[in-house]
């Protein structure tokens, strides 16, 4: 049996390990500390804008994040409900402790998967092919494929003001030797930075000065396998920083590691520290702050929006200046964390390293940020490592197929100079890439690969049948009298003559679910299927326009380029284009067109040569 080793037990590592094991590969998952498996080191939440899409796609492909989030969440919301379906995103407050426990149980119960507490220090290769992994404890594990998913643990250090400590998140041990092994293999290593806010005691908060944030009922869940709506068990709270907060930060900027040179790593643009927000948005007198529960088993609350690396005395002043936190008790101080990561343009779209067969990387080591981005990459790296070992064609998701495809294409084609975060604006075809239809888009791949169990396959085929059955009813015609009650309830103008069911659903205030309540239609059709049907009907014109754009996009994606293609010999290509193309080694003409420094004229020249 082929053997694989996954280095890292975070969100990328667990998805990679589970995918490999479920594909029949004898897999060992190495983790520095088993207590840190799938640890929610920063925000105790899963999902959010665009991130919710990633979790639904992970689930549709047979991954685990969505299943375990639904099992352990304590609040579920749909962000942007007042906007169009393309930008609506699921977000859950997860029980931090139970999420870890549930994922650890999942790993322990998985056939073909062995979890081991150990530190990987060296990746052994022969003739640029992976052979084994060495651990600090003296073990050597044979490996036909390796997935490196080390998160933020490579040479990591925590920074609080003048205090620095060489550890990983939350004080867990870090990985001190593996970076050198990666450098020896030819990886370009750089330094990134992220941070986390303080954790505070719930009883010290003045909730009367804050706005309650409650969960939503009757909405989609992350996993298409979840049969019952999870229960909303907690509330979150919205408050704001003050002018005093701003003044405290500006007065102490010379003591801030972000601005006095103590931190060299590049931080995330779209999840900045509070000091960065105050400096970048100098005209704003206040910023939003959300108080979010960490778990049902603790009174620790997470102060979202106020991550910082300020010294402890400044942190105390700063947090106490926030509305409702005047008497706050800080349980865990905020900190910044620096860590090593690689240049993601050194990877193929499969997430395999260009310099070594059988070596894949996934997650924050690739320069991304966030649990969801990590989980998505881990799943794809695990799948492609498994397909590599099975001698099969890899899985490369296109930008028109998934947010995962957008994420990976951005990383390997454009690279990133800061921690990369997924956003809906990055996806050109986001109306097609919705949460509700992730199963229709991606579950066929899971079935083909062998990651869709019987329940998932049945759910998928049942939905296809339901959609066909529901569409067959759309031409039914109803008289004004038959729809009167429905239209009055929805505050819609009554039609003057007969109207089809499809015409009814096109009305602004009516969807297929509401139509089912008032009319004798859609018998035995699930709400999930009716949500998809409603969106497809209401946005039909926009979807058709996107389909035309996708057809043009696919033309270039199907023009494949050999891995060993030598661009240096192509007459007419500019020097910069030759350098970039030889560096990235694009898999298709489409990918080549997205490389920074390659212009349309270069693509025209390349196309002519490919045709020859």
551-571 pLDDT, tens per residue? 989 988 999 998 888 899 888
Q: For residue 264, is pLDDT > 70?
A: no
Q: For residue 426, is pLDDT > 70?
A: yes
126-160 pLDDT, tens per residue? 999 999 999 999 999 999 999 999 999 999 999 99
CATH 1.10.150.570-classified regions of the chain:
559-611
444-459 pLDDT, tens per residue? 999 999 999 999 999 9
Distance CA 64, CA 55 (A): 9
27-82 pLDDT, tens per residue? 999 999 999 999 999 999 999 999 999 999 999 999 999 999 999 999 999 999 88
Joined together, the tokens standing for residue 294 give 């960490």
Q: For residue 190, is pLDDT > 90?
A: yes
CATH 1.10.10-classified regions of the chain:
458-539
Per-residue model confidence (pLDDT) at position 563: 85
CATH superfamily of 559-611: GidA associated domain, C-terminal subdomain (1.10.150.570)
Our CA angle for 591, 593, 599, nearest 5°, is: 155
Phi-psi label, residue 305: left if phi above 0, alpha if psi -120 to 50, beta otherwise: left
378-392 pLDDT, tens per residue? 999 999 999 999 999
Per-residue model confidence (pLDDT) at position 610: 85
Q: For residue 282, is pLDDT > 90?
A: no
The class of domain 199-336 in CATH terms is mainly beta
- What are the strands, taking DSSP E only, across 442-492? 477-478
CATH 2.40.30.260-classified regions of the chain:
199-336
Per-residue model confidence (pLDDT) at position 82: 84
Please compute the mean of the pLDDT values over residues 18-24 and round it to a whole number.
Answer: 98
Spatial contact of 277 and 271, defined as CB atoms under 8 Å apart: no
Q: For residue 96, is pLDDT > 90?
A: yes
Beta pairing class for 359-361 and 145-148: parallel
Please compute the mean of the pLDDT values over residues 353-360 and round it to a whole number.
Answer: 97
3-class DSSP assignment, residue 110: coil
Show Cβ contacts of residue 416 under 8 Å, excluding neighbours closer than 6 positions: 344, 367, 368, 410
Joined together, the tokens standing for residue 312 give 């402890």
Show Cβ contacts of residue 345 under 8 Å, excluding neighbours closer than 6 positions: 411, 412, 413, 414, 415, 583, 584
1 CA to centre of own chain: 32
Among 269-278, 401-410, 576-585, the least confident range: 269-278
Q: How many CB atoms lie within 10 A of CB 227?
A: 9
pTM over 0.85, yes/no: yes
Show Cβ contacts of residue 429 under 8 Å, excluding neighbours closer than 6 positions: 399, 400, 546, 549, 550, 553
Q: What is the 3-state secondary structure (H, E, C) of 315-382?
A: HHHHHHCCCCCCCCCEEECCEEEEEEEECHHHECCCCEECCCECEEECHHHHCECCHHHHHHHHHHHH
Average pLDDT, the chain: 95
Q: For residue 233, is pLDDT > 90?
A: yes
Assigned CATH for 458-539: 1.10.10
Per-residue model confidence (pLDDT) at position 260: 66
Q: For residue 258, is pLDDT > 80?
A: no
Distance CA 385, CA 19 (A): 9
Per-residue model confidence (pLDDT) at position 86: 87
Among 300, 374, 384, residue whose Cα is nearest residue 25: 384
The percentage of the chain sitting over the pLDDT mark of 90, rounded to a whole number, equals: 87
**pLDDT band for position 166 (cuts 50, 70, 90):** very high
Please compute the mean of the pLDDT values over residues 169-198 and round it to a whole number.
Answer: 95
Among 149, 60, 88, 596, residue whose Cα is nearest residue 373: 149
Q: Look-up: residue for tokens 């009922």? A: 217
**pLDDT band for position 510 (cuts 50, 70, 90):** very high
Per-residue model confidence (pLDDT) at position 267: 67
């Amino acid at each position: 049996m082929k053997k694989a080793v996954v280095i890292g037990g975070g969100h990328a590592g667990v998805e990679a390990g589970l995918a490999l094991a479920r594909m029949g590969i004898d897999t060992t998952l190495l983790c520095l500390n088993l207590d840190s498996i799938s640890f929610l080191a920063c925000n105790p939440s899963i999902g959010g804008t665009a991130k919710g899409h990633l979790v639904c796609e992970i689930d549709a492909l047979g991954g685990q994040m969505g299943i375990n989030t639904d099992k352990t969440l304590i609040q579920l919301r749909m962000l942007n409900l007042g906007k169009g379906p393309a930008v609506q995103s699921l977000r859950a407050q997860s029980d931090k402790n139970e999420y870890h426990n549930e994922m650890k149980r999942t790993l322990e119960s998985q056939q073909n998967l062995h979890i081991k507490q150990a530190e990987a220090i060296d990746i052994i290769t022969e003739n640029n092919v992976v052979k084994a992994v060495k651990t600090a404890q003296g073990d050597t594990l044979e490996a036909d494929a390796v997935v490196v998913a080390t998160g933020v643990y490579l040479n990591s250090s925590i920074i609080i003001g003048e205090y620095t400590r060489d550890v990983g998140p939350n004080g867990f041990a870090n990985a001190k030797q593996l970076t050198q092994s990666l450098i020896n293999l030819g990886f370009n290593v750089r330094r990134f930075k992220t941070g986390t806010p303080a954790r505070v005691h719930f009883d010290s908060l003045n909730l009367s000065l804050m706005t309650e944030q409650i969960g939503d009922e009757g909405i989609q869940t992350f996993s298409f396998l979840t049969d019952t709506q999870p229960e909303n068990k907690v509330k979150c709270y919205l408050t704001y920083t003050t002018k005093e907060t701003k003044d405290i930060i500006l007065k102490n900027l010379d003591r801030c590691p972000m601005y006095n040179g103590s931190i060299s790593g590049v931080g995330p643009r779209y999840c900045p520290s509070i000091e960065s927000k105050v400096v970048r948005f100098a005209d704003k007198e206040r910023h939003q702050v959300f108080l979010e529960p960490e778990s049902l088993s603790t009174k620790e609350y997470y102060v979202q929006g106020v991550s910082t690396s300020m010294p402890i005395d400044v942190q105390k002043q700063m947090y106490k200046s926030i509305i409702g936190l005047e008497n706050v008790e800080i349980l865990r101080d905020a900190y910044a964390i620096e860590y090593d990561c690689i240049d993601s343009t050194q990877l193929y779209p499969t997430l395999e390293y260009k310099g070594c067969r059988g070596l894949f990387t996934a997650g924050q080591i690739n320069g991304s940020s966030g649990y969801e981005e990590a989980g998505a990459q881990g799943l794809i790296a695990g799948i492609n490592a498994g397909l590599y070992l099975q001698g099969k064609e890899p899985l490369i998701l296109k930008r028109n197929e998934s947010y995962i495809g957008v994420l990976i294409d951005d990383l390997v084609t454009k690279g990133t100079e800061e921690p990369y975060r997924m956003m809906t604006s990055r996806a050109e075809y986001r109306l097609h890439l919705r949460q509700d239809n992730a199963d229709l888009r991606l579950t066929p791949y899971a079935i083909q690969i062998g990651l869709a169990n019987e329940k998932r396959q049945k759910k998928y085929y049942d939905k296809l049948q339901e959609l066909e059955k529901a569409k067959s009813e759309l031409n039914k015609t109803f008289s004004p009298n038959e729809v009167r009650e429905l239209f009055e309830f929805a505050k819609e103008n009554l039609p003057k003559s007969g109207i089809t069911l499809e015409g009814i659903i096109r009305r602004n205030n009516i969807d297929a679910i509401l139509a089912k309540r008032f009319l004798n239609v859609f018998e035995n059709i699930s709400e999930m299927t009716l949500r998809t049907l409603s969106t497809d009907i209401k946005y039909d014109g926009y979807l058709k326009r996107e389909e035309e754009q996708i057809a043009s996009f696919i033309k270039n994606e199907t023009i494949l380029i050999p891995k060993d293609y030598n661009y240096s010999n192509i007459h007419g290509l500019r020097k910069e284009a030759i350098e970039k193309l030889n560096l990235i080694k694009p898999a298709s003409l489409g990918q080549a067109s997205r490389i920074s420094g390659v212009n349309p004229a270069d693509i025209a020249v390349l196309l002519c040569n490919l045709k020859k």
